[in-house]
Structure 1
């Protein structure tokens, strides 16, 4: 820091801390939350750390200072992180004869408790679905006690199935030949799956809603939370998510079908949870064909992508879209896939 004025030295100290935190976050996908829950919380802040390092890089670059190398090197080391946060891809809306579309959407109980002021949210969601006409539709936080009817679809758990937790449902234009539920312990969250037949192929589709951290998105309410309480709360959530993912992976390992995984992970693409679900045999549809930040959750501070569609590597990802429609605290996502 030789030659820097006092103000610039302070800025570089802050820059160094932010760069160190981002660098530390690169090991988070490999550390089980049950082993180090407090550190895993850092994964939620990765988008902000990327943005801040970008700001510091530009700050020093415009002043032609060698300090710009710190954030530049850290950002380049984590280039895959940037790729998970923002995409410049182009995808076509044209649908081929062998293509089929998959949509995932956390509908937040169809606004049952009036979080949004509009009284027609449920009807608006139904109109949106009917307009988009996805071939496979996966909904989370779905009220089986207040169901929707979709013409031309088979479904599983659209109305409560005995012995299966409500909250998730799958609609499919293709016949469903098998279905079931993975019941997560000590929570209302769960995962469901269906096996569908498309021409000669049988495809397994999962959708799940992993444990929620319960973090307030309202700025004033969030200010009242202590940092120690937030770390403890989120750490406990990530431990629960790890157990839920382990149940999912055990179930998935018994299937030989090509698989699609959708849902609200309540975690980011920089986490251990995401890495374990994705594994070596799935690819992220957003990373393959998305565009922009891919924000799926209405978080006020920075873009959060916590809803995913992961597809077997055998599928070609032809398009991906995040819909900027305010019908929930989540945004619907949709991809078009095909089997070459």
Structure 2
């Protein structure tokens, strides 16, 4: 039991140093952080009723992990999305090209259900990833007069197909180019109240792994593909970080990061920004399930001068991802 405890404690220690190393081969361990935390907690309880001196092993690594990585569970109260003249709401959603998440029913068009949901929630800004212009009806979201899209019909994987809908005027827009990939980013500058805000919509490198196909893939090839995806994400994160640092305005970063909050790419992009889930969410914050394991890979990062009032995770069950929305209060500056 002690030997097993040493293995999982050391694994969690490795996961804690992932955000501070560029080793793509080590990065996959960050995906297992919640499981490693749970197992170490069980070992702590086991030694608590046995040889108590051994409980220090798991206790020390759990404390180290908390201060290094932070918590994957948010304990904020359930705030209400109360809109007023000083608040702003933003939703981000990977819509899977408006296809059904069920492989057997792939051609089913979910766009009408997706847009009905958006109209009901009524966010002021919407960031969509894997956006398929060809599968939506003309004139949808008429109450969002300002739109910026990045769409290439030949890009069948949809990683660069992005859209931002806004109730506020878009005065500038641009693209983030990621090399050697189908993925990319889009940004817009919005005139909001008496300020200008830059909103980034990202779709970072995908692992390209589907639950229904993973059983047919050799483990060594899967590891190499995951390693290459982690390496690309780290390069993309540095590009995003440079855009954030060069922004003349306060920024909001939304999108599908295709990795968890324990990854180096997340740490690099987040920098000094606030994570809306950690500031205003509650619970686990799941945005996707893979083999029934929940992960939080869709993020909403907000300038520290904005006060996060609420963060909500939805269970819409249309895409393989779930939408998230945050409401925050603008600074008085």
TM-score by length of 1: 0.87
2:10 paired with 1:20: yes
* Farther off after superposition, 185-194 or 144-153: 144-153
SS in 1 for 2:290: coil
Deviation at 1:157, TM superposition (A): 3.9
SS, match of residue 194 in structure 1: strand
- 2:291 is aligned with 1:315: no
Equivalent in the alignment of 1:337: 328
Question: Aligned-pair distance for 1:25?
Answer: 1.2
Residues 159, 234 of structure 1: CA spacing in aligned structure 2 closer, same or farther, 3 A cutoff? closer
Q: CA separation in 1, counterparts of 2:87 and 2:114?
A: 24
Q: Which residue does 1:45 correspond to in 2? A: 32
* 8 Å contact from structure 2 (residues 100, 109) kept in 1: no
**Aligned: 1:254 with 2:246:** yes
Which residue of 1 is the match for residue 65 of structure 2?
78
Per the TM alignment, residue 213 of structure 1 is displaced from its structure 2 partner at its CA by 1.0
1:267 and 2:259 are equivalent in the alignment:
yes
Counterpart for residue 135 of structure 1 = 124
- Which residue pairs with 2:181 in the alignment? 187
Distance 2:152 2:226 in 1: 31
Q: Distance in 2 between matches of 1:113 and 1:324?
A: 13
Unaligned runs of 5+ in 2: none
Q: Kindly tell me: are residues 155 and 187 of structure 1, through their superposed partners in 2, closer, same or farther at Cα, counting changes over 3 Å?
A: farther
1:326, distance to aligned residue in structure 2 (A): 0.6
Q: How far apart, in 1, do the equivalents of 2:151 and 2:218 lie?
A: 39
Shift of 1:29: 0.6
Once the two structures are overlaid, the 10-residue window that deviates more, 72-81 or 208-217, is: 72-81
Which among 288, 295, 299 is matched to residue 304 of structure 1? 295
Q: Tell me what 2:92 maps to.
A: 104
Moved more, 117-126 or 11-20: 117-126
The residue number in structure 2 matching 1:8 is none
2:163 is aligned to 169
- After superposition, the Cα gap between the structure-2 partners of 1:138 and 1:321, relative to the gap in structure 1 and judged at 3 Å, is same
Whole-angstrom distance in 1 between the partners of 2:243 and 2:69 = 32
- For 2:190, which of 183, 188, 196 is the aligned residue? 196
Aligned to 2:316: 325
8 A contact 2:76–2:281 mirrored in 1: yes
2:19 is matched with 29
Change (3 A) 1:30 1:168: same
Partner of 2:201: 207
Shift of 1:331: 1.0
1:328–1:63 Cα change, 3 Å: farther
Instruction: Give the conservation status (yes or no) of the 8 Å contact 1:283–1:313.
Output: yes
2:229 aligns with: 237
Alpha-carbon distance in 1 for matches of 2:64, 2:176: 38
Shift of 1:308: 0.3
Number of aligned residues: 324
Cα deviation code 1:59-79 (max 9, x no counterpart): 333547433332122111111
Shift of 1:125: 1.1
Superposition deviation, residue 246 in structure 1: 2.2
Q: Which shows bigger deviation, 11-20 or 165-174?
A: 165-174
Task: Please state whether the residue corresponding to 2:111 is helix, strand or coil.
Answer: helix
Structure 1 gaps, min length 5: 1-10
Task: Name the CA distance, whole Å, in 1 between partners of 2:210 and 2:5.
Answer: 27
Shift of 1:223: 4.5
Gap change, CA 1:222 and 1:48, over 3 Å in 2: farther
Question: For the residues of structure 2 that align with 1:258 and 1:193, how far apart are their CA atoms?
Answer: 12
